[in-house]
Structure 1
Amino acid sequence: MVRFQGFGGSGVRGSVVTGRYDAVRAVEVPPNLGAIADLTPVRDQERPAWLALGEDGTISRWDVTTGDHEAVGTTTVWAEPDPEPWNDREIRRRLHASHDGDFCAVVNDYGRFGEVIDLRTGEVTLALENEGHHSDTVPFSLAFGRSHGRCVVIHRTDWNRLDVSDAETGALLTDRSFLSPAEEDGLPEHHLDYFHGALYVSPDGKRILDDGWIWHPVGVPSVWDLDPWIEGNVWESEDGPSRVDVCGREYYWDHAMTWIDSARVAIGGIGDDDLAMRPGARIFDTSRTGERGMAVELLTFEGPAGRFFSDGTRLFSSGDTGLSTWDPAEGNLLGAVPGFSPTHHHPSTGQFLELADGVVRLWTA
């Protein structure tokens, strides 16, 4: 049963704490970093930091609280031609980091190419390509994970195929080929009619959330387990027993979503069609299935807008008017920081960064 709670006026239960705007501070970008194209957190508990991608391709490790920084690598991923962006999705470089910061990936979101770099040696360990079919509709599917102490990278190798590779060696861990046709429609066995999108790894590192879509355009976020995919069933991402669809929205994908914990996800937008979508959050339990075999919806509440982040307990939404904090179990608005719309979140330090026009602003939860 989905419980709907309104937002605004008496519809919001509990007190709302408004954060101090003056607690948001501008962070001086060290001159050696130059213009920053993207940032990503290094979650290592002993040495939490940020990786910064410079416009010139330099990758630096940066402690925003102390200003300490050092160049740790470079990328040669080139800017792809983008003559006619689909639905305003312009090709841009995106930086990803492994949990410990030993590896990173630089990819072209809404483009075709990227690479994985071992920051300990500076070597490119894996050249990435997704074959380009409708790649302009989704960010480049990529995420880092761990399996038996080994750093792995999940990446899109075709419109309907993801693979897992060893980040250090580049070795493919999910080798498979579509050979035998299905009797009912002549398609290869395990054929997946799904355009993979942005990937999110659960906080415990065991599950993958995929913000993809199917033809004729319906956004269908899906979830499956990482370990069985690597250790036994190379088809786990196509039709494995752990794969669960979360919900479906016509013409609506590449919007806010995040893991809350190892089971719950928050999906942005209330509605079944992009033309009738309202700001808000839908909370799903992906460990259980209900109607039509989809994830169980726990709660729907209006209010959250923009990007979604979580610290494992709270849901944060970063919209045009500022940052707000929500209780994903009850739908209550817990607090707000008006005028601050962060683009990045560091789960280990609680830092939120707003990166816009080369200026970095910081607030810590």
Structure 2
Amino acid sequence: MNLHAVSLPQLQPSPGNLVALCVLPSFTAEQPLLLALNTDAELWKIELLTGMTRQLATIQLPEWEPDHPVQLIVSPCGRFAGISNRFGKYAIIVELTSGTTILTLERGEYHYDKSTYPLAFIRLNNQLLLAHGTDWNRLELTALLPEMKPLSTRTIPNPQGESDAEKAHYLNYFHGKLHSSPNGTFLAETGWVWAPVGVTLVWNNNAWLANVWESEDGTSLDSVWQPLIDWDLPMVWLNDELLAIWGKLDEDLLDEEDWGEEGTQSVIMIYNAKLRTRHTVITGVPEFQTRTDLPDVFVHPQAQLAASSDGKLFAWGRAVPLQVWNLSTQQTEHQQLDHSIQPDLYHAETDLFLKIGADSIQAWRYE
């Protein structure tokens, strides 16, 4: 099996110079859909197999830097989009049908440019929820549907306070990129703490609805992987319980024969969020690049994980050609040799790897 190029039509009309791409749910449309953002701050809907495009909105994101890494996400219902510079101070939520910005969000001044803006849509209990950062160590939970309202209103802990009540719930942790499980039950992230080192956390969203402090110190909060050299790690939910994370493990968490030369080993760890246990560790995994050539952009993992419906796990990134594992055996199935193929996105519905091109989308299929 190998990667094979797939021809897709030119985009008409041209959506301009694109900087971000994500899957747009298409429950009633015959065509698989994409949502794209261009350097002119315009959101476009793209029919993947026809190339037909339509502009949906022009966004107003404070301190927008189109040349810096961009975070673009879509709600499971396809109604809303979330946009931020990956390391930006601000984020917005746009209602795609009207093109209206319904929320402008801010996460404070303190080291905001060191991790991805925490932002995730969660579909849970017939509600559409939004988890979002409002300070370096604080997340909020807001309901968007069936009506917009805050769900995690609480005081701000004071670590220098005189009473235990003032000091309670203080979290000494910088939040990072958020990943909601498919059924919305769990939320995962890799933020960081001083040294600095990365720390992967997972917690239960039903518990968060019952306890406004759940993301600080709730009973469901589990520190999955610590310490790590990096944060904002590549992650993907394999199903409603299993989470794959690409990073480095210390030698004391590995069998001796798996130790790396420097006491750490690049691995993909699969974590069971329901059982709160390590499910398995895949070794023999390449290291991803963190160096960036962009000025004023912090070092960060430049790699991605994705999973197919038939049990394949994909990993790729800058200087890391596509790697494929069979999840039923945890064995390597394929290692692509061509470093030039660097997709922006895996589109699970069509089983295509996609990359932004000039007036077109380049595509490959693993078969």
Indicate the TM-score class for this superposition, using the shorter chain for normalisation. 0.7 to 0.9
Tell me how far apart the structure 2 counterparts of residues 79 and 28 of structure 1 sit (CA, whole Å): 32
Q: How does 1:101-140 map to 2 (within 5 A)?
A: 101-140=78-117
CA displacement at 1:166 relative to structure 2: 2.5
Q: For residue 23 of structure 2, what is the aligned residue in structure 1? A: 41
1:89-117 Cα distance to aligned partner (Å, 9 max, x none): x8433211111221111112111012111
1:265-311 Cα distance to aligned partner (Å, 9 max, x none): 2221333399765443222223234xxxxx42522321355321113
CA displacement at 1:18 relative to structure 2: 2.6
Q: For residue 267 of structure 1, what is the aligned residue in structure 2? A: 245
Q: For residue 52 of structure 1, what is the aligned residue in structure 2? A: 36
SS of match in other structure, 2:283? strand
Tell me how far apart the structure 1 counterparts of residues 64 and 41 of structure 2 sit (CA, whole Å): 14
Q: For residue 139 of structure 2, what is the aligned residue in structure 1? A: 162
1:9-61 Cα distance to aligned partner (Å, 9 max, x none): xxxxxxxx3333xx344653334311111111123444441101121111111
SS of match in other structure, 1:174? coil
Q: For residue 18 of structure 1, what is the aligned residue in structure 2? A: 2
The yes-or-no answer on 1:353 pairing with 2:350 is: no
Q: For residue 13 of structure 1, what is the aligned residue in structure 2? A: none
The yes-or-no answer on 1:310 pairing with 2:307 is: yes
Tell me how far apart the structure 2 counterparts of residues 211 and 119 of structure 1 sit (CA, whole Å): 29
Q: How does 1:231-310 map to 2 (within 5 A)?
A: 232-272=210-250, 277-289=264-276, 295-303=277-285, 306-310=303-307
CA displacement at 1:131 relative to structure 2: 0.6
Selected match of 1:150 from 127, 131, 135: 127
The yes-or-no answer on 1:79 pairing with 2:63 is: yes
* Mean Cα deviation higher: 72-81 or 179-188: 179-188
1:55-78 Cα distance to aligned partner (Å, 9 max, x none): 111111111111122122220114
1:163-192 Cα distance to aligned partner (Å, 9 max, x none): 111336652121111358799988621111
Selected match of 1:96 from 68, 73, 82: 73
CA displacement at 1:149 relative to structure 2: 2.4
SS of match in other structure, 1:237? helix
Is residue 353–residue 364 contact of structure 2 (8 Å, CA) maintained in 1? yes
Is residue 285–residue 298 contact of structure 1 (8 Å, CA) maintained in 2? no
Is residue 20–residue 70 contact of structure 2 (8 Å, CA) maintained in 1? yes
Cα RMSD (Å) of the superposition?
Answer: 2.9
1:75 and 1:347, CA in 2 relative to 1: closer, same or farther beyond 3 A? same
Tell me how far apart the structure 2 counterparts of residues 347 and 187 of structure 1 sit (CA, whole Å): 47
Give the total of aligned pairs: 334
Q: TM-score, normalised by structure 1?
A: 0.81
CA displacement at 1:156 relative to structure 2: 0.6
CA displacement at 1:338 relative to structure 2: 4.5
Q: Which runs of 5+ in 1 are unaligned?
A: 1-16, 83-89, 290-294
Is residue 26–residue 78 contact of structure 2 (8 Å, CA) maintained in 1? yes
Q: Which amino acid aligns with 2:363?
A: L
* Mean Cα deviation higher: 313-322 or 112-121: 313-322
Is residue 260–residue 314 contact of structure 1 (8 Å, CA) maintained in 2? no
1:177-210 Cα distance to aligned partner (Å, 9 max, x none): 1358799988621111111101111122221111
Q: Percent same amino acid among aligned pairs?
A: 28
Tell me how far apart the structure 1 counterparts of residues 323 and 238 of structure 2 sit (CA, whole Å): 15
Q: For residue 327 of structure 1, what is the aligned residue in structure 2? A: 326
SS of match in other structure, 1:125? strand
The yes-or-no answer on 1:214 pairing with 2:212 is: no
Q: Which amino acid aligns with 2:313?
A: L
Q: For residue 297 of structure 2, what is the aligned residue in structure 1? A: none
SS of match in other structure, 2:149? coil
1:32 and 1:329, CA in 2 relative to 1: closer, same or farther beyond 3 A? same
SS of match in other structure, 1:196? coil
Tell me how far apart the structure 1 counterparts of residues 162 and 95 of structure 2 sit (CA, whole Å): 44
Tell me how far apart the structure 1 counterparts of residues 86 and 163 of structure 2 sit (CA, whole Å): 36
Tell me how far apart the structure 2 counterparts of residues 134 and 358 of structure 1 sit (CA, whole Å): 37
1:257 and 1:61, CA in 2 relative to 1: closer, same or farther beyond 3 A? same
Q: Which runs of 5+ in 2 are unaligned?
A: 252-259, 289-302
Is residue 284–residue 298 contact of structure 1 (8 Å, CA) maintained in 2? yes
